Amino acid sequence: MADQENRIVATDLCYAYPEAAANAVDGVRMRVKRGEFLAILGHNGSGKSTLAKLLNALYVPTRGSVLVCGLDTRDDELVFDIRQHAGMVFQNPDNQIVATVVEEDVAFGLENNGVPPAQIRERIDEALRAVNMTDFAKKAPHMLSGGQKQRVAIAGIIAMRPDVLILDESTAMLDPSGRREVMQTVHRLNEEEGISVVLITHYMSEAATADYVLVMDEGKIALTGTPREVFSQVERVRALGLDVPPMTDLAHTLRAQGVPIAPDVLTVDEMVEEICRLSLKT
Ligand code: ADP
Ligand code: MG
């Protein structure tokens, strides 16, 4: 009965906190297919974390619905299954690690979710390999860097063999190398294992690597498209309280100075290509 193609389907999704005047998530319609990588952006308070919790069945919609691999989050009896299909990584690595040894931490979810003991060893090894943390299996989590801790948190979820990985600003507390480690891990899981990714981030450079971007504002989807489609609307993105990726910003500034550079440059490589193209012309 699980829908393997459509991993997340949200229809007219709304959520209001008790006694709040307005919906924190307000009429969201979205779909994440197998192997897709979606980035969610939006200024503080725009509803991203509330949406993430709805996608993971931590919250039940006050209106509309979310299907995770075809399973309706409104059905209490499916919550357990849904959390195995869609795992969530949060912002603070220290709040997610519960055990005093890395491999025990990865085992924790497996034990709680009734995975047969005979399979647990294999699942731990597989998950630690997937996040490139095999050498740290016997280490104490408090000895690890922030990026390593987040990779352990991701391993705990990967061990459940999920179809969707939801990350809510999971790189926000990391230094640049920790962020890079986590992003590489997430991209590898997405590309090689076909795990769908929903990445909530305030780093535009991370969003630029997604297949699609969704920008939230006041609980609604204000803008959506490929990173190129979204970020080329520089003024619109800024009006929503966000930056554009650094190279898009540079291209925009150069265009304002009369340089006929493409308006949808996203990466350093693309900028180099544009500059070469322009200098060949003169
Ligand atoms: P974001 O993750 O984009 O910063 P949130 O989903 O956390 O946004 O918040 C969306 C809106 O819901 C905000 O107006 C916020 O104040 C409100 N909100 C978030 N959590 C709660 C809560 N536990 N109780 C009441 N209101 C909340
Ligand atoms: Mg948030």
Walk me through the domains of the chain, giving residue ranges and CATH numbers: 35-60+78-226 (3.40.50.300)
**Atom 26 in ligand 1: residue holding the nearest Cα:** 17
Residue 259 has pLDDT above 80, yes or no: yes
Q: CB of 45 closer than 6 A to ligand 1?
A: yes
Segment 131-189, tens digit of pLDDT: 999 999 999 999 999 999 999 999 999 999 899 999 999 999 888 998 899 999 999 99
Q: How confident is the model at residue 44 (pLDDT cuts 50, 70, 90)?
A: very high
In order, the DSSP letters of 119-136 are HHHHHHHHHHHHTT-GGG
Count Cβ neighbours within 10 Å for each residue of 5-41 and write b for 16 or more, e otherwise: eebbbbeebbbbeeeeeebbbbebebebeebbbbbbb
Q: How far is the CA of 47 from the centre of ligand 1 (A)?
A: 6
pLDDT of residue 89: 93
**Atom 14 in ligand 1: residue holding the nearest Cα:** 45
- Least distant ligand from the CA of 40: 1
pLDDT of residue 96: 87
φ, ψ dihedrals at 22, nearest 5°: -120, 160
DSSP reduced 3-state for 40: strand
Q: How confident is the model at residue 3 (pLDDT cuts 50, 70, 90)?
A: confident
Question: For residue 84, what is the DSSP state?
Answer: H
Q: CB of 241 closer than 6 A to ligand 1?
A: no
Q: CB of 70 closer than 6 A to ligand 1?
A: no
- Least distant ligand from the CA of 216: 1
Residues 6+ apart with CB under 8 A from 269: none
What is the identity of the amino acid at 178? G
Contact 188, 197 (CB under 8 A): no
Residue 280 has pLDDT above 90, yes or no: no
Segment 87-116, tens digit of pLDDT: 999 999 888 888 999 999 999 989 988 889
Q: CB of 48 closer than 6 A to ligand 1?
A: yes
Residue 2 has pLDDT above 80, yes or no: no
Q: How far is the CA of 129 from the centre of ligand 2 (A)?
A: 29
**What predicted TM-score, i.e. pTM, was given to this entire model?**
0.93
Count Cβ neighbours within 10 Å for each residue of 252-262 and write b for 16 or more, e otherwise: bebeeeeeebb
Tell how strand 86-89 and strand 164-168 pair up.
Answer: parallel
Q: How confident is the model at residue 1 (pLDDT cuts 50, 70, 90)?
A: low
pLDDT of residue 113: 83
Contact 186, 167 (CB under 8 A): yes
DSSP reduced 3-state for 278: helix
φ, ψ dihedrals at 2, nearest 5°: -65, 140
pLDDT of residue 58: 95
Tell how strand 25-33 and strand 164-168 pair up.
Answer: unpaired
Contact 216, 201 (CB under 8 A): no
For residue 42, give the nearest of 230, 248, 249 by alpha carbon.
230
Q: CB of 35 closer than 6 A to ligand 1?
A: no
**Ligand 1 pocket test, candidate residues 13, 17, 200, most atoms within 8 A of CB:** 17
The fraction of the chain above a pLDDT of 70, given in percent, is 99
pLDDT of residue 4: 78
**Residue 140 to residue 142: CA distance in whole angstroms:** 6
Q: CB of 20 closer than 6 A to ligand 1?
A: yes
DSSP reduced 3-state for 225: strand
Q: How confident is the model at residue 66 (pLDDT cuts 50, 70, 90)?
A: very high
Can you read off the two tokens belonging to residue 208?
A: 């630029």
Contact 127, 193 (CB under 8 A): no
**Atom 5 in ligand 1: residue holding the nearest Cα:** 47
Segment 47-64, tens digit of pLDDT: 999 999 999 999 999 999
Contact 5, 33 (CB under 8 A): yes
Q: How far is CA 26 from CA 70, 223, 275, in A?
A: 22, 14, 43
DSSP reduced 3-state for 87: strand
Residue 282 has pLDDT above 80, yes or no: no
pLDDT of residue 203: 93
Q: How far is the CA of 258 from the centre of ligand 2 (A)?
A: 38
DSSP reduced 3-state for 181: helix
pLDDT of residue 178: 87
Indicate which atom in ligand 1 lies nearest the CA of residue 46: 3
Mean pLDDT, residues 252-279: 93
**Residue 239 to residue 219: CA distance in whole angstroms:** 16
